Structure 1
């Protein structure tokens, strides 16, 4: 710095020296010319004046330059401070060792950099706001707020970018939902065979996705529209199925050929609406044909009605309540009454199908149980071989358990049904448990009658003979010899003589008739017990008669102390 100062001082000294030299030269010239002192003063005054004007002008210009620089510095400082604040960066501080010109130049450079950074941020903000505005317009949401005219900070720009990213993902999801809904709505409309009826349906199937605002309300409206169309489609399908069911019923009634039916069943690739119109046309044709064949149709309906009566276990009294069934005046009114009754029975059957199926299962197992019981009472059953008796006994025990289980389940189901419906559930005109008790009672009575008939038949066919007294110490049983066992005729005669010594012995079979125990029948006023419990008691009462192969084997293996006739299958040495 001192070096630059010395150069300027030397230059200033040279200016003074030059000035003095110039004045001296002027003095010499003025002396040579003989110019007077007054003229010299005037001329020197002019020189001084020119010099002073020059210096003053230069000083003024330099001062103006200094003021301008100082103002520029103040302005730049202010601008840089403002930009630093707006850009959210640290404020600029000038170096104290720098001159005014250096400070001014540094501030100008700093201001240019900050201005450029400001412009870049504003341009980035403009682009991001355009993207955000477009997304928010499609989604109908509020754009990310940044005060207009302000310079966004780096944090604000990052938040705006994140907001755009979120809205872009949201638009993608909504667009995906919209595309799926649009495809389903379009498919539903095509399947139903109808065109869009309102602006929402038109917008929903429009190919231009940008024309539809992906707002939550619009998405919800599309969801509701899809549900409504599906309900309409289901209603059309329900109507179509109902018409098809009526047509199939009329086909069965009118005995339409299978070829004609197949021609309708094979129709495909058509809308539900067109298919419904086709089936309705066929239904109308069949209705006209039905009216022309009332008698045959009514008779066919009566067969169907009888089938439902059988499935629902209707008694004769319940069937007679529908008097049109027995009318022979085949009119359209009679046909309508039959149709209503069939619909009523069908609805009742469908409502009680589980109970009725269980009752039918009980009936089937009851029939099988009765058959096995009859076989158990058949005297010829002991001639069977191969373990048939044991199999039948196991099957009978299994059926007893199954019947008991079915009765308990049906009782609980029927009680629940009666509580819900507020009326009795009847099987062939009676409550189920009363019906079951009646079946068991009828079976017991039948069993008793058959047993009594067998006893009476034996008494009628067996002649009474006075027994011959045997000597003391004689064997109580005529043991046939081996020869008698080989010869049929001799065996029969020996058995006949043996039987004459014991009253009540069957002459044909050589067996003592089993005693008969009569069981008093219960009246309807007697409290109803579980039928299987009564059956078990009866089994104990009739224990004198073998009920199974094991019991039979046990009976013939016993050795009596007196008045017993040994079976021919027992060893003589016993």
Structure 2
């Protein structure tokens, strides 16, 4: 416990000293820059006030001032070069961190690496040679794992692409049979395709979500229409019929509002990009119109099918009416024949 406390104190003191050193360097640079600015100003004043010909004293002052400006310029350049080298070093480490973060993310999704450990390493604000060595080792490990598991990673990225194509309403990309093999170039291309899909979705998320909502409501309206045509809908339904009717009315009111919003957003998109907003390769408003046409066509087909069923149900009934009437009708008896037969009947003798 004591050792840990001392280490924390030493680290705090070291950080404080580093902070002070950076402040001193910045102040020193500012002082050098200020001296250089004053020297240049004095140089202009001396040149303007110089007599012709220049006397030896003025020439000596001019020479000393020029030497001072040279030294100040060199020192300022050295400091700037040092800062640039520091920035280049920082950029180098940041690039390594970015590569590790990207690779470890995809590797962790297929269970090949501990993402938390890699993130912890990349988040260290340490630009020392020791940390550079650790980062280089981690990058090398990620590259080796990536090379050894290309087929697994490619299959995983393809699955992600399919999901994001559904979310962005994009048709799935066609696979090139010539490049249908596990290679690092193919993995890089697929990862770029996935990154483009994610960027497209994030940029146009509002339009895509609103269109998906429109499709969902129209599908629900179709289901409610189907329920309303059920012959048994009045049996044991309770308040379901009323709820369904209210839902249908609510959807009927929402759909035009969504279409109006989409029309405004799509026009803004086209004005911004100069391109139509496509849904599965079709302009989105045309797609919505096509969805409505399919809805009305399905509705008409269902009505025709129901009429055909009713007509078929009536045919057996109509066919059964004729035999029933013939079987139940009274047979026709001739009046003359009936009277003749009665004449041959003899009356019974009274008992």
TM-score, with structure 1 as normaliser = 0.38
Aligned counterpart, 2:347:
none
Determine which structure has the larger helix proportion and give its number: 2
3-state secondary structure, aligned to 1:379? coil
**Aligned pairs, number:** 258
Cα pair 2:93 2:127 within 8 Å, conserved = no
d(CA) in 2 for partners of 1:268 and 1:371? Answer: 52
Alignment of 1:258-407 (within 5 A): 260-265=114-119, 270-273=124-127, 278=134, 281-315=137-171, 319-320=173-174, 323-324=175-176, 327-407=179-259
Deviation at 1:393, TM superposition (A): 1.0
Higher relative contact order (CA 8 A, sep 6+): 2
Q: Does 1:201 align with 2:26?
A: yes
**CA shift in 2, pair 1:418/1:457, >3 Å:** same
Match of 2:298 among 432, 446, 451: 446
- Distance apart, 1:309 and its partner CA: 0.9
Q: 2:274 aligns with which of 411, 422, 437?
A: 422
Contact 2:105/2:115 (8 A) holds in 1: no
Which blocks of at least 5 consecutive residues in structure 2 are unaligned?
A: 1-11, 38-79, 326-351
Q: Is the 8 A contact 1:237 1:272 kept in 2?
A: no
Q: RMSD between aligned alpha carbons?
A: 4.4
Q: Is the 8 A contact 1:355 1:413 kept in 2?
A: yes
List per-residue Cα deviations over 1:358-404 (Å, max 9, x = no partner): 22222222222222222222222222432111111111111222221
Distance (whole Å) between structure 1 residues aligned to residue 247 and residue 97 of structure 2: 45
- CA shift at 1:431, angstroms? 1.2
Secondary structure of residue in 1 paired with 2:213:
helix
In the other structure, the counterpart of 1:408 is 260
Alignment of 1:118-157 (within 5 A): none
Describe the shift of the 1:370–1:196 C-alpha distance in structure 2 as closer, same or farther (beyond 3 A).
farther
Alpha-carbon distance in structure 1 between the residues aligned to 2:134 and 2:24: 30
1:250–1:286 Cα contact (<8 Å) kept: no
Q: What is the alpha-carbon distance in structure 1 between the residues aligned to residue 265 and residue 224 of structure 2?
A: 28
Match of 1:4 in 2: none
**1:118-157 CA distance string (max 9 Å, x none):** xxxxxxxxxxxxxxxxxxxxxxxxxxxxxxxxxxxxxxxx
Equivalent residue, structure 2, for 1:41: none
CA distance in structure 1 between the aligned counterparts of 2:218 and 2:238, rounded to whole angstroms = 26
Q: How far 1:339 moved relative to its partner?
A: 2.1
* Partner secondary structure for residue 380 of structure 1: coil
Work out whether residues 97 and 122 of structure 2, in 8 Å CA contact, stay in contact via their aligned partners in 1. no
Q: Quote the Cα distance in structure 2 between the aligned partners of 1:460 and 1:289.
A: 68
